[in-house]
Structure 1
Amino acid sequence: MSIRNLSIISTMTVIALSASPLLANERAEVSSYQYGTRLDIAKVIRIDEPAPPTCEIVQATMTFVNTQGETEQVSFLKQAQACLRE
């Protein structure tokens, strides 16, 4: 094994290991919103939802920061964006 190959493997290993904490945050448990649930939202980071071509109910996921500075996720049902175009 050449030094170049060893260097490339070492670099890829470091990159993979350093990305693990970032992936762990993305895999955090998503709680389901239920009517009446009190949410502690200081800032919304993003809302992800599927984009079906027809008007239907979809499962969306909101990622937000609470007032303690912790990132949380909650899933909820909503009308798809296609419903707004009809």
Structure 2
Amino acid sequence: MNIQTFSVASLLAVITLSGSPLFAKEQTQAPAYEYGMPLDIAQAIRIEEPKSTVCEVGQATMTYVDTQGEIRHVSFLQQTDACSVQ
């Protein structure tokens, strides 16, 4: 094995191992929003809404970027889309 092949293999190993904590953070439970809670939202990335065929309140999760560039999550209560149809 030459030095270039070894360097590429080492780099791939570092990238793979350093990415694991990022995926672990992604799957943790998002903190629930409370009235008056300060949110530092620079850009909303996505909102995952509950799917339901009946009008009810479900828990949604918003993923956003704060002004420091960190990706954050917050959960909140929201009426389902079925409420707007009825």
Question: Which TM-score bucket, shorter chain as reference?
Answer: 0.7 to 0.9
CA RMSD of aligned residues (A): 1.9
Q: Secondary structure of 1:53's partner? A: coil
Q: Secondary structure of 2:24's partner? A: helix
Per-residue CA distance 1:55-86 (angstroms, 9 max, x = gap): 00000000000000000000000101111111
Distance 1:53 1:69 in 2: 36
Q: How many residues align?
A: 71
Match of 1:52 in 2: 52
Q: Quote the sequence identity (%).
A: 51
Distance 1:34 1:22 in 2: 26
Which TM-score applies when normalising by structure 2?
0.72
Distance 2:28 2:58 in 1: 20
Match of 2:78 in 1: 78
- Give the residue type in structure 2 aligned to 1:78: Q
Match of 1:65 in 2: 65
- Give the residue type in structure 2 aligned to 1:80: T
Where does structure 1 differ by over 4 angstroms across 4 or more consecutive aligned residues? none
Q: Mind listing any 5+ residue stretches in structure 2 that lack a counterpart?
A: 1-11
Which TM-score applies when normalising by structure 1?
0.72
Match of 1:43 in 2: 43
Distance 1:74 1:38 in 2: 11
Match of 2:7 in 1: none
